[in-house]
Amino acid sequence: MQNTITKSISAHKAGFAPQASRKLVLFQSIEKRLNKIFKDEMNSSNSIFQFVSDSAIHKMALFLSGAKNRSCSIGIAGETASGKSTITMDIIDTLKVFADEFYIKDLITRINTDDYYYDRSDMVIKAGSFAEFAKHYDLDVPEALELELMKEHIKSLLGGETVYLPKYDMSGTAKRVDNVTKTTPSKIIISEGLFTLTDKVVDAFDFKIYVDVSSNVQKERFYRRAAERDLGSSADDVYLNAASKAKIHIHPTKANADIILSGEADRTSYKNFIKKVLELVRDVHFSSVLMYS
């Protein structure tokens, strides 16, 4: 993986004013180290990565160096049982530990894509049960969610505005209550879901991640989860519908990703990689603190 910035690049091309040569040097140093971190991981056995674009590393260096002086957004997509929710929570947990260690406030905020399902509680009542409702209403299509509102909320947070997020009841009522969760801007906005990289919302994200998984592993995970949720004989129909709709609505969004993760890597591997990036952040931004601690 080649460095995306060569020694001959001008400060102007890198997004720096001519007088900001020190920032340019910092940026180039960070990008060089990031390239090595990513390259080492990609060349390792059982790497967490299937693909990483040079532009993703370049953008990361811009944010970490302060050349992009604003919050960043991360969108994570993948089909059901791909591991995207687990990976997202592991990212959040690892970052929160780092934030606590260095007293960083408002480091990361999660936007739950599932909270943007449209309120269909009246249809559930009319059908008599959620199971009957689900037979006639497809939840496995992007049109089942108000993704435009989600995009609006993310853009507002990135712009420094406080927003009030909706809350969707996943217990089977299909009820959504709007303007429930007060959310203030943070340094990182992260969201995951089936349709996070679809056209209606994808350009809200600086970093676009797709979690890929083999059909055998995905199917085994799905049926294990179905047993835990007591889906019984309806599990087959639910799986077949989800799988068929994924081919139409989710698999194509893989092309929008600048990072493709393996959904089958060990959870420890994800956390260890994040820690390596955070070690770089520590060295760059907290070295003086460490010297006098």
Domain layout of the chain by residue ranges: 21-283
Mean per-residue pLDDT over the chain, rounded: 89
- What CATH architecture does domain 21-283 belong to? 3-Layer(aba) Sandwich (3.40)
Six-digit token pair at 207? 């970093």
Angle, alpha carbons 128-134-136 (nearest 5°): 90
Q: Is 185 exposed, middle or buried (0-12, 13-18, 19+ CB in 10 A)?
A: middle
Secondary structure of residue 170 in the 3-state scheme: coil
Confidence of residue 172 (pLDDT cuts 50, 70, 90): confident
Closest to 210 measured CA to CA, from 28, 107, 56: 56
The pLDDT of residue 9: 38
- Taking the model in full, what pTM does it have? 0.89
Three-state SS at 280:
helix
Q: Beta 188-193 vs 72-77: how paired, if at all? A: parallel
What residue has token string 């060569």?
6
